[in-house]
Amino acid sequence: MLVEIQVQCPHCGEVITTMADTSQGDYTTIEDCEVCCAPMNIEVICEPDRVEEVRVTLA
Ligand SMILES: [Zn+2]
């Protein structure tokens, strides 16, 4: 179950829209910022089909 989320890049400050897969519960992933291409660590706190919190830190 994919849910659209917005994350703010900790490197350049841009807000990026990406998809979170909520089917497996909480997870952490690393994605590259679309704007500055730097990696960011995205922690998704979720239940199936519902995102409760998104935390972004430097990867
Ligand atoms: Zn960036």
As for how many domains the chain has, the answer is 1
- Angle made by CA atoms 19, 25, 31, in degrees to the nearest 5: 35
pTM listed for this prediction? 0.91
CA of 58 to the centre of ligand 1 (A): 10
Q: What share of the chain is helix, strand, coil (3-state, %, to 5)?
A: 0, 65, 35
pLDDT of 51: 98
Neighbours of ion ligand 1 (CB under 5 A): 9, 11-12, 33, 35-36
* Mean per-residue pLDDT pooled into runs of 10, the chain (59 residues): 97 97 97 96 97 96
CA of 10 to the centre of ligand 1 (A): 7
Range of the domain at 41: 2-58
